[in-house]
Structure 1
Amino acid sequence: MIWLHLALIAFIAAAFGSAPTLARPTLPFGVRIPAKRSGEAVILLARRRYNRGIGLGAIVACAVVLFGWLAPEVVVLALTAVYSLLGGLAHRSIAAAKREEGWYSGTRQAVSTDTSLRSDPVRPQWILLTPSVVLAVATAVSGWLAGAAGFSTVFAPIAVIVLTSLMAVAISRARPEIDAAQPAVSASRYREYLHGVLALLLISAGCVNATLLVVSLQRWGVVETTVPVTIVAYLPLAAAFIAWLGFTVRTGDAGHRLPRAGDEPETRYEQRDDDRHWYAAGMVYLNRNDPALLVHRRVGTYWTLNLGHPIAWVVLAAVAVAGVLTALGIVTLPEKGT
């Protein structure tokens, strides 16, 4: 188990360490800056300090786990908190330099949109959800034959399909990330990025249901719970994780690392400075005047809720209620033989 915890520490360090590299150049550590300021000394210094902190934190965490000074779970939580703090400090240093030196002074700020994403939207390829549906049916039939048929037998696979479908619809209608400095290029990149995200999302649903099928067969006693079978059970999840990782590295945040489709010259405008609507170092978005429910995150990848939208609080309340009901035992997870 100790090697598993060391591997988890290495993964957390790699995830936090790669975040600044995958971020858009105009959003270092979640701070919106003009494109021409992306090479400022304060940004380079913040990245160096952050990277040193990531490396030092991983070394200390590994030493603590190896010598058994603290429980591995505590070390992992503490390491995550320290890394988040490092990111917050880097965010504050860049934001302070931006404010004190007036990086946006004399710039013309604008917001661009791509109307073709409404007239010709990127639609989810629902055919990719077919394996997930087939596996859900296979799970239900297998449970019925094993004498474990019932609501709990098919609830999890169906929940995966429903949640994935809702996420695909919401993401396809989320506000696009388009740079006012290069609207055509960024719109083309975002369209390709969105197409890949939706395809991977639907395929991942099939991977999750494949794992659920094998795990269910183990719990029902249809197949033996051996190490090889367990490995096979989680291979689909591993494949989905690797696919997402490769896609994220290739495309970058909101697709900014994708090849340029054309040689569009930069406009006279800079993307509007909207730092005032972002909190927790670019992790939380709250704008009551923005009708968008989902917006692309500044730190990390993919989308987050606009907490200024009423529906966002309905979603959070539903998740909280489900968590409380599960903790109280009112809603129970499927049991073997039920």
Structure 2
Amino acid sequence: MTGPAWLHLALIAFIAAAFGSGPSLARPTLPFGVRIPAGRTGEPAIARARGRYNRGVAAGAVVACAVVLSGWTARTDLVIVGLVVTYSLLGSLAHRSIVAAKRDGGWYAGTRQAVATDTSLRTDPVRPQWILLVPAVSLAVVTAVIGLVEDTTNFSTVFAQALIVVLVSLMTVAISRARPEIDAARPSMSASRYREYLHGVLSLLLVSAGCANATLLVISLQLWEVVETTVPVTIVAYLPLLAAFIAWIGFSVRSGDAGHRLSPADGEPETRYEQRDDDRYWYAAGMVYLNRDDPALLVHRRVGTYWTLNLGHPVAWLVLGAVAVAGVLAGFSVVTLPAKGA
């Protein structure tokens, strides 16, 4: 990885901030991807796991910065990969320690487990604001027209814009129909929060498509030599993506994982039930979900503002197969991806 040292240090700081903020954004009943009863969120074992994790994140960032500044290695990319692997291992260790404490302490003993759902999300679903996709479509059309006027034969960026529109549309429909995250302890409150959260995610997703296509428009102008490839133009090209990135970060911090930080429409006393302990269906510290008895294709991941496939669903393997085939075709240049200067 080439570039000035400050850029490498900034990347290290960003990675440390991303991994360090993850546990604080997670739902209180899902520390490090482990399902626990609401009454156990203050357990000392969880506090100790968080403390060890945070100290490890800070130490890893300090060591990585020291290595970069010392010049011991010219391969900063190896430092970055090592840092990500280290943080992932720290998260896995924290996950395992909480699992052990939960098992040894019998945290779910004597609780009444249940699963709640909100049927109104079927009868009155959160509808995507498709008007927000208009800029993405318009920018793709404008780029195609400019390409025709310039009489170019390289329309790879236009194809990429069209692909973004199609994929974002499919993702929007799929996410809007995904299984909602409803807490059995407070079903009404969590359903209200999830609605607000889902509305924000869908809107941001559609707006982000426009930001991506705006960047591809400027890249197209550079590729076709309509504008000069200068540093200011390149900076302008990536400003829309930067704006979308900042918007996602702000939304994630405000809403928290699955919207648990959002203010509910009204207060609600806790029920006698606890959310069902479904750890047996989650793997890789809550990153992979496999449940053959669950008809849902998409489920919200236990960490982060996004969804994952239920690998127990047959359609999930068809989707993964299609992605793998597309990757192989791109690798053998059967499908060409947009590249500046191509």
TM-score, structure 2 as length reference = 0.97
The CA RMSD measured in Å over matched residues stands at 1.2
Within the candidate set 42, 47, 50, 1:47 is matched to: 50
Aligned residue among 34, 38, 41 for 1:38: 41
1:308 paired residue number: 312
Equivalent residues of 1:211, 1:234 under 8 A apart: yes
Partner of residue 177 from structure 2, selected from 173, 191, 214: 173
Q: Which residue matches 1:131?
A: 135
What residue is the counterpart of 1:20 in the other structure? Answer: 23
CA contact (8 A) 1:147 1:337 kept: no
Identity of aligned residues (%): 76
SS of 2:232's equivalent?
A: helix
- Structure 1 segments of 4+ aligned residues over 6 angstroms from their partners: none
Count the aligned residue pairs.
338
From 301, 313, 316, the counterpart of 1:297: 301
What SS is found at the alignment partner of 2:125? coil
Q: In the aligned structure 2, how far is the partner of 1:174 from the partner of 1:335?
A: 34
Return the offset for 1:337. 8.4
Unaligned runs of 5+ in 1: none
Alignment of 1:60-75 (within 5 A): 60-70=63-73, 71-75=75-79
Paired amino acid for 1:5 = H
- The answer to which of 148-157 and 35-44 deviates more is 148-157
> What residue in structure 2 maps to residue 113 of structure 1?
117
2:286–2:303: 8 Å Cα contact kept in structure 1?
A: yes
Q: Match for 2:18: what amino acid?
A: A
Tell me how far 1:144 sits from its aligned partner. Answer: 1.0
Correspondence list, 1:1-338, <5 A = 1=3, 2-70=5-73, 71-149=75-153, 152-334=156-338
Q: Is the 8 A contact 1:111 1:179 kept in 2?
A: yes
The question of whether the paired residues in 1 share the 8 Å contact of 2:139 and 2:213 is answered with: yes
Q: Name the stretch that deviates more: 67-76 or 268-277.
A: 67-76
> Counterpart of 1:19 in 2: which secondary structure?
helix
How far apart are the structure 1 equivalents of 2:192 and 2:270?
15
Partner Cα separation in structure 1 for residue 288 and residue 91 of structure 2: 14
Q: Aligned partners of 1:47, 1:276: CA distance in 2, in Å?
A: 22
Q: Distance in 1 between matches of 2:252 and 2:338?
A: 34
Q: Is contact 2:164–2:209 with CA below 8 Å preserved after alignment?
A: yes
Greater shift, 153-162 or 127-136, is seen at: 153-162
* Aligned equivalents of 1:202, 1:164: Cα separation in 2: 7
In structure 2, what is the Cα distance between the partners aligned to 1:63 and 1:191? 45
Aligned AA for 2:180?
P
**Can you give the 5+ residue segments of structure 2 that lack an aligned partner in the other structure?**
none
Partners of 1:148 and 1:337 within 8 A in 2:
no
